[in-house]
A and B are shown apart, each in its own frame.
Chain A
Amino acid sequence: MEPAKASPLLQITGLKKHFPVKTGLFGRPSSSVYAVDDIAFDVHAGETLGIVGESGCGKSTTARLLMGLIPPTAGTVRFDGKIVGSPALPLKEFHRQVQMVFQDSYASLNPRLTVEESIAFGPTVHGVSRREAIARARSLLDRVGLDPIRFAGRFPHELSGGQRQRVNIARALALEPRILLLDEAVSALDKSVEAQVLNLLLDLKDAFGLTYLFISHDLEVVRFMATRVLVMYLGKVAELGPTEALYTKSRHPYTSALLGSLLSMDPDQRTERAPLAGDPPNPIDPPPGCRFHTRCAFAEAVCSLHEPVLHAAGASHAAACHMVPPNGEHSKSGMAMKAVS
């Protein structure tokens, strides 16, 4: 599963998004939400990169930054080596290549357009003839398992949640993108329908040679879908690695706690202790040093003083924790592996 030496399809460097919040005197922005705070990672052609982390850790903000829907405070996104938003790759051009599917299948469809009109809309904006766009919409409907004869003329409110999400996927594919960014795309679906949509996504990926960024709070689903996983905590990358390595040999205590929160499905092995206490801290005022130190069972003095960088922790595997590098200031330096059950 080692990615080829080819340069990454997407390259994210030094990406930041700080949202000013008005809490000061006279409503002046006096502080910021550090929603995404200096993250860097690559996305390789053909992979599914899963992004996980607790609510508010910056997953959706990262997605919106990647799509160019909001301007970054700092940092760049490169697609095929070209900086997104530069003259070499204007946003509109980039948007043909990268499309997004959101959680709320209802809000993302125009209620006054029929299903086929919704799907054909993007291509016509990009210069495809209406006739051709409608033909493409019908073939995509068929591809996502919705019989065009029955569904093409329906309005969003005449569809079930799973059917609407299929329409959203068809719509995202109408521009023949190379990357699909799925932000909690199956989270609102019932389990029985979720399985259908996940299977569909796997089929489409093979059929169209797609690359996925798959954001979800559901760790089971991410394990099933992703080839690599990125774990975020309070706007930072905590850990990044191949799915199985990360799930079975996590090197960051936060990843371990997150995985430890998974319920067992075994009535004889119920959870006896919560792996983490408390809620995630407020991203307006993130803790200094390692952002996880306020909840980490292994925190030491060094953790609140210095921010750990991403250290190599195995093949294509990295974790931002002082315990990972050998010879660090943490007493368990080089022992992160053993620290984790």
Chain B
Amino acid sequence: MDEPILEIEDLRVTFTGGAKPVRAVDGVDLSLRRGEVVALLGESGSGKSVTLRSVLRLHQENKTKIEGRITAAGIDVMALQGAALADFRGKHVSMIFQEPMLVLDPVYSVGQQIIEAICKHENIAADEARKRVLHLFERVRIPSPERRLAAYPHEMSGGMRQRAMIALALSCHPKILLADEPTTALDATVQVQILLLLRELQRELGLSMIFVTHDISVGVEVADRIAVMYAGRIVEIGSVRDVIRAPRHPYTIGLLSTRAHGGRLTGNRLPAIAGSPPDLANLPPGCAFAPRCGLASSQCAASTPPALSVKEGQIVRCFRVDATAKVSA
């Protein structure tokens, strides 16, 4: 197998700005192959966005302690400084967000902003850049692209703004696209359109992608592999088929069964995971899922479960994978 395009090794991110330090990411290992899509799945606060933002070094560095190694497109991300870091963002790795209005400046037209982004990274004439933006708008299927170049963000519908943000993200031909819940705020009918667009662009441009979502069905729709996060750790990773059909971490198993999915009988109780997600400033020792886990034993609260390979390509952080083999079989 050739080199992964993105390699995250033992990433730890601690926010030190508050009264108590918050360990939001606690030893994440993730490698992304060329042309691969990995869905990073997890509940609110599990550390998905913090992991993603680390790859672009978007955290406020004076209030954040980042440890570990990140290598993207052969570049040591942790070592980047100043102009090199600015150049890295957008050119090698790009990111799209849930809320495009956080990225798009309301006082400039969308076309202008993308042209500027291109000219910042490349030494080309504004005229050339404009042509490229027009082509991008066609590519992301913005209707009447010529006219929309001059549109301001607020003049676009939610779905169209999302398309414009994707055009902006792809404007400097990055190899890696990081997507942070880009369809979460959209209606189901528009979400499908954007997912299909992203899947098509990913394939045709050979992009490698990490797609953050809290919705398993979105992950299934776009990804080759699914990584499940809980309390700052990846607790299970494997091919989409394995994770969906034979999950081995008790949390993944619970998540899949809590879904009101597939015409479950109206009014029958749903199997629910008891308790609530943990407070990262007061994490229990050992496995963070232990207080909610039906399989927890004394060992689970005492030490952190190691990453175990349960099958070719499927890795689980749990002491009781012997027991979950029966559950999911």
Contact = CB atoms under 8 A, between A and B. Distances in A.
Interface string A273-284: 111111110000
B220 interface: yes
Given A192-B272, A223-B266, A266-B220, A261 B159 contact: no
A194 interface: yes
B273 interface: yes
Given A194-B258, A224-B260, A261-B188, 10 more contacts: A191-B255, A192-B258, A217-B187, A223-B264, A223-B266, A247-B263, A263-B217, A264-B221, A271-B221, A275-B192
B266 A244 contact: yes
A190 B213 CA distance: 12
A195 interface: yes
Contacts of A194: 258
A292 to B, nearest CB: 12
B18 interface: no
Contacts of A261: 188-189, 191-192
Interface of B: 43-44, 143, 157-160, 187-193, 195-196, 214, 216-218, 220-221, 240-241, 244, 254-255, 258-264, 266-267, 269-274, 276-277
Nearest to A295: B189
A267 B241 contact: yes
A257 B189 contact: yes
A181 interface: no
Given A223-B266, A274-B196, A55 B220 contact: no
A57 to B, nearest CB: 9
A258 interface: yes
Nearest to A267: B240
7 contacts: A55-B187, A191-B255, A192-B258, A193-B277, A224-B270, A262-B188, A275-B192
Nearest to A192: B273
User: For A217, A226, A243, A277, which residue has the most chain B Cβ atoms within 10 angstroms?
Assistant: A277
Contact of A219 (B43, B188, B193, B269): B188
Contacts of B187: 54-55, 217, 279-280
Interface in A176-195: 190-195
A271 B192 contact: yes
A319 B220 CA distance: 33
A195 B272 contact: yes
B68 to A, nearest CB: 26
Leading 3 A-B pairs by shortest Cβ distance: A224-B260, A195-B272, A263-B217
A54 B187 CA distance: 6
User: For A219, A279, A280, which residue has the most chain B Cβ atoms within 10 angstroms?
Assistant: A279
A45 interface: no
Interface string A251-274: 000000110011111111011111
Given A198-B260, A217-B188, A190 B44 contact: yes
Given A192-B43, A195-B260, A279 B220 contact: no
A202 B264 CA distance: 14
B188 A258 contact: yes
Contacts, number: 129
Contacts of B273: 192, 195-196
B261 A274 contact: no
A279 B276 contact: no
A227 interface: yes
Contacts of B272: 192, 195-196, 199
Contacts of B158: 55, 279
A200 B251 CA distance: 21
A265 B160 contact: no
Contacts of B263: 223, 247
A309 interface: no
Contacts of B271: 195
Contacts of A272: 196
B159 A279 contact: yes
A274 B277 contact: no
A285 interface: no
A191 B259 contact: yes
A226 B266 contact: yes
Interface string A144-165: 0000000000000000111100
Interface in A183-234: 190-196, 198-199, 202, 217, 219-221, 223-227
Nearest to A196: B272
B266 A278 contact: no
Contacts of A225: 260, 266-267
B221 A195 contact: no
A267 B143 CA distance: 30
Contacts of B262: 265
A227 B266 CA distance: 7
B243 to A, nearest CB: 10
B260 A279 contact: no
Contact of A279 (B157, B216, B255, B264): B157
B220 A265 contact: yes
A279 B190 contact: yes
A275 B244 CA distance: 25
Contacts of A163: 276
A223 B261 CA distance: 9
Interface string A322-337: 0000000000000000
B220 A192 contact: no
Contact of A278 (B44, B159, B196, B270): B159
Contacts of A223: 260, 263-264, 266
Given A263-B217, A271-B196, A274-B192, A192 B254 contact: yes
Contacts of A199: 269-270, 272
Contacts of A276: 189, 193
B250 to A, nearest CB: 12
Nearest to B158: A279
A193 B143 CA distance: 40
Nearest to A55: B187
Nearest to B223: A267
